Amino acid sequence: MGQPVLVALAVLGLALAGYVALCVALYDRITMVPSDSPIFASPDTPGGFSAEDLDATPYLMPRFEEVTFPDRTGEVGIAGWWIPLEGDPDAPVVIVVHGYTACRRDGWVLLAAGMLHRHGFAVLTIDLRNHGDSGRTGGRHTGGVRESSDVLGAWDWLVTGRGRPAASIGLFGISLGAASVVIAAGAEPRVAAFWSDSGYGDIDDATRAELRRNHLPGFLLPGGLLAGRILDGPGLRATSPLEAMARLSGRPVYVTHGTADTRLDVHYANQLISAGQASGALVESWIVEGSGHAAAIVDHPVEYERRLVDFFRRTLREGDAQP
């Protein structure tokens, strides 16, 4: 083999190594959860919080308990607030899950919890791994793939620790939390019902969109997928919300999304709706004209509350009812 060929191969090898190194660095930056997110330090609790310009007084939940439990795999500890319904130990329960860089202290999360609680639901709010007071595992989010195990850890805690029947437990998620609850429901066939607000569908589609949002060229996509395998393991692309929707036959699902969402485009909602309908899931939806990312709850609080409460009233059983 001649020297020019060896030189060319060396240059190609260096270029490839540089490309992979760049993609690893960019993947790490884009997916990293900042440990100093302002919401993590918020003083808000179920007993006192604010949500935009809304009067939160009707939604306050003064009696709550700090709880911790492992995720379903036992890899990381999950922090939560358990908010039972006074005088009704058999009330249905909804697990409420926040979005990226947020936590259970987020005002919109607490507003959703308060909407449910004041209409007869017990609530469990959680911090996903690498967020809030939960444990850190590498410090990066995985688009809901590993976070789904955190949701299922909360579900297991209710079923085994509190004796709640599966048919009485629903899931609610916003953004990253929405992806997490969809994947969790796809993995656990006993999840009774869930609400997805402003989530994504296909993981490759979402990755391309994330590159565009960060003004990065599309040729980085293959390297980004490789970086994910290097940093977070080969299992991340084994599932996605879209793939999970294909395993929901017969179960009730609610998908909502704003048409003015610039973080995760509204077409993801259409992906999820179509996939759910194709699987035989009982899909309901609300596409909210003019609302931004996860903003429908503050743009249209009365309508949001009505729809949210109605959905879980129809799909969850009382805790003493047998499936």
Which of 186, 185, 225 shows the shortest CA–CA distance to 205? Answer: 225
Range with the poorest average pLDDT among 127-131, 150-154, 219-223:
219-223
303-320 pLDDT per residue, tens: 999 999 999 999 999 866
Which of 307, 301, 208, 295 shows the shortest CA–CA distance to 257? Answer: 295
Q: Are the CB atoms for 263 and 214 separated by under 8 Å? A: no
Q: Are the CB atoms for 89 and 319 separated by under 8 Å? A: yes
Token duo for residue 79: 């922090």
DSSP letter for each residue of 41-52: G---BTTB--BT
Residues facing 173 on adjacent strands: 97, 196
- In this structure, whether the domain defined by 44-202+240-315 belongs to CATH 3.40.50.1820 is answered with yes
pLDDT at 48 over 50: yes
The helix/strand/coil state of 121 is coil
- φ/ψ of 55, rounded to 5, equals -80, 110
162-180 pLDDT per residue, tens: 999 999 999 999 999 999 9
Neighbours of 303 (CB within 10 A): 13
Q: Are the CB atoms for 137 and 33 separated by under 8 Å? A: no
Q: So what's the pLDDT on residue 322?
A: 47
115-125 pLDDT per residue, tens: 999 999 999 99
How much is the pTM?
A: 0.91
How far apart are alpha carbons 267 and 100 in whole angstroms? 20
66-104 pLDDT per residue, tens: 999 999 999 999 999 999 999 999 999 999 999 999 999
Please report how the helices 176-187 and 147-156 are oriented relative to each other, as an axis angle in degrees rounded to 10: 60
Q: What is the dihedral of CA 36, 38, 44, 49, to 10 degrees?
A: -160
Q: So what's the pLDDT on residue 296?
A: 98
Which of 40, 79, 45 shows the shortest CA–CA distance to 157? Answer: 79
How far apart are alpha carbons 245 and 273 in whole angstroms? 8
pLDDT at 283 over 50: yes
Token duo for residue 180: 């997490």
